[in-house]
C-alpha cells in the first residue's frame, strides 16, 4: 500500500469525497462504498453539507459529481487553479443508462466510472497502450463511420447536468440555430427515451449534444458528432455547429484507448490503479 501511494499521481490521503443528501438507495450505497474505500486509504468524506466542501484546506482535493450546487465552487476552483476531481458513470461498460454493453456483461458487476482532475470529461488523447481497451472486449461494437445519413439527432439531458454545466434552454437554442444552418430533419432525443440509441442513429447524419455521454456512444456506433468543448467526444468530433453539413470522420482507436485509461472499477480505486492513472 505504501508503494502504491508513493507511485500515485494523486495521493488518496489528500482527497475528500462529497456525498450529497437525498440520494436514492442504490446511489447512496455506491457513494458510501466509495467513501469507505477512500477513508480506508486515509482520505476524508464530507456528507450532505455543500458549503463544507469549499471550506476544506487548499491541500485537500475535493471530489464531486454531477451536483448543481457546486457550479459556483467549480468556477472558483478553476479560477484559483485549485485541484479538484470529478467522478461520474464511465464512458464504456458503464453501470446503467447506456446503449453499449454494460460492465455486468463483462463480469464486472459494479461497472466503470470516469474520474478526472480539474474537468468533467477527458480533454485530450493520451499516448497509452491498448491493454485497458482490449480488456473491455468492445472491438465488435465499434462500427464504421456512417457517411450517408439523413436526419440530425439532438441529445437532450437532465436538469442536474444543465444546472451544473450550462442551462435548460441549450437544447431549444441549438434546435433553433440548426434550423438556420440545415434543411435536414431534426429529432430531439429525450435523455430517458426507451428507443435504442442505435435505432435513432442508424440513418442519422450526425448527433448534436452538449456533453452527454450519448455523444461518446454515438462515435463508437459510427455516427459523427457536434458537441461542446467539455465533451470527450469533441476530440473526435466538431465543436463548430456551422460545419454541420461537413462532419468529421477521424481515426478513433487512440481515442478509445485513452477513454479506457480514464475510467475505473471500484476494485481499481482500492488497489491504487485509479490514483496512479487518474488524469
pLDDT band at 6 (very low <50, low <70, confident <90, very high): very low
Looking at residue 4, what is its pLDDT? 45
What phi and psi values does residue 11 have, to the nearest 5 degrees? -80, 120
CA distances in angstroms from 248 to 151, 205, 209, 234, 238, listed in the order given: 16, 11, 15, 10, 7
C-alpha cell at 274: 485509479
Phi, psi dihedrals of residue 90, rounded to the nearest 5° = -75, -175
Look at 6-15, 128-137, 183-192, 241-250 and tell me which has the smallest mean pLDDT: 6-15
Nearest to 47 by CA among 268, 75, 38: 38
The per-residue pLDDT of the chain, averaged, comes to: 94
Contact 9, 276 (CB under 8 A): yes
| Res. 3: pLDDT tops 50 | no
Q: What's the CA angle centered on 139, arms 133 and 142, to 5 degrees?
A: 110
Fold of 143-251: Rossmann fold (3.40.50)
Q: What is the pLDDT of residue 162?
A: 96
CA-nearest of 253, 174, 32, 204 to 235 is: 253
Q: How far is CA 19 from the centre of its chain?
A: 19
Confidence (pLDDT) at 97: 72
Q: What is the dihedral of CA 100, 190, 159, 111, to 10 degrees?
A: -10
Q: What does the alpha-carbon distance between residue 220 and residue 126 come to, in Å, rounded to a whole number?
A: 18
Least confident of 92-101, 162-171, 198-207: 92-101
Q: Look at residue 2 and tell me whether its pLDDT is greater than 50.
A: no
Residue 199 grid cell:
435505432
Q: Which of 230, 227, 224, 228 is nearest to 245 (CA)?
A: 224
How far is the C-alpha of 39 from the C-alpha of 60, rounded, in Å? Answer: 13
Spatial contact of 160 and 67, defined as CB atoms under 8 Å apart: yes
Q: How far apart are CA 26 and CA 10, in angstroms?
A: 28
> Which residue, 251, 225, 255, is CA-closest to 240?
225
Residues 6 or more apart in contact with residue 276 via CB below 8 angstroms: 4, 7, 8, 9
Q: How sure is the predictor about 7, in pLDDT bands with cuts at 50, 70 and 90?
A: low
- For residue 275, the surrounding DSSP H or E stretch is helix 273-277
Mean pLDDT of 74-90: 96
Q: Say how far apart CA 200 and CA 220 lie, in whole Å.
A: 14
Confidence at residue 79, expressed as pLDDT on a 0 to 100 scale: 97
Burial class (CB in 10 A: 0-12, 13-18, 19+), 108: middle
**What is the β-pairing status of strands 113-117 and 263-264?**
antiparallel
Q: How far apart are CA 79 and CA 246, in angstroms?
A: 35
Q: Where in the chain is the domain with CATH 3.40.50?
A: 143-251
Amino acid at each position: 500500500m505504501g508503494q502504491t501511494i508513493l507511485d500515485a499521481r494523486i495521493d488518496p490521503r489528500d482527497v475528500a469525497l462529497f456525498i450529497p443528501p437525498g440520494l436514492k438507495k442504490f446511489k447512496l450505497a455506491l457513494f458510501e462504498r466509495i467513501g469507505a474505500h477512500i477513508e480506508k486509504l486515509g482520505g476524508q468524506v464530507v456528507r450532505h453539507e455543500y458549503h463544507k466542501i469549499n471550506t476544506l484546506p487548499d491541500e485537500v482535493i475535493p471530489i464531486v459529481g454531477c451536483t448543481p450546487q457546486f457550479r459556483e465552487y467549480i468556477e472558483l476552483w478553476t479560477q484559483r487553479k485549485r485541484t479538484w476531481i470529478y467522478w461520474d458513470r464511465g464512458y464504456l461498460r458503464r453501470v446503467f443508462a447506456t446503449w453499449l454493453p454494460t460492465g455486468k456483461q463483462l463480469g464486472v458487476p459494479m461497472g466503470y466510472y470516469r474520474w478526472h482532475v480539474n474537468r468533467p470529461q477527458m480533454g485530450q488523447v493520451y499516448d497509452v497502450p491498448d491493454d485497458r481497451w482490449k480488456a473491455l472486449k468492445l472491438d465488435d461494437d465499434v462500427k464504421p463511420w456512417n457517411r450517408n445519413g439523413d436526419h440530425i439527432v439532438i441529445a437532450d439531458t437532465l436538469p442536474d447536468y444543465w444546472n451544473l454545466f450550462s442551462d435548460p434552454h441549450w437544447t431549444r437554442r441549438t434546435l433553433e440555430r440548426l434550423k438556420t444552418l440545415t434543411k435536414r430533419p431534426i429529432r430531439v432525443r429525450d435523455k430517458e427515451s426507451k428507443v435504442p440509441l442505435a435505432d435513432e442513429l442508424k440513418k442519422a447524419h450526425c448527433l448534436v449534444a452538449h456533453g452527454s455521454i450519448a455523444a461518446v456512444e454515438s462515435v463508437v456506433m459510427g455516427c459523427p458528432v457536434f458537441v461542446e468543448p467539455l465533451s470527450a467526444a469533441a476530440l473526435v468530433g466538431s465543436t463548430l455547429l456551422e460545419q454541420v453539413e461537413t462532419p468529421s470522420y477521424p481515426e478513433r482507436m487512440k481515442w478509445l484507448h485513452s477513454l479506457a485509461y480514464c475510467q475505473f472499477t471500484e476494485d481499481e480505486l482500492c488497489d491504487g490503479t485509479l490514483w496512479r492513472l487518474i488524469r
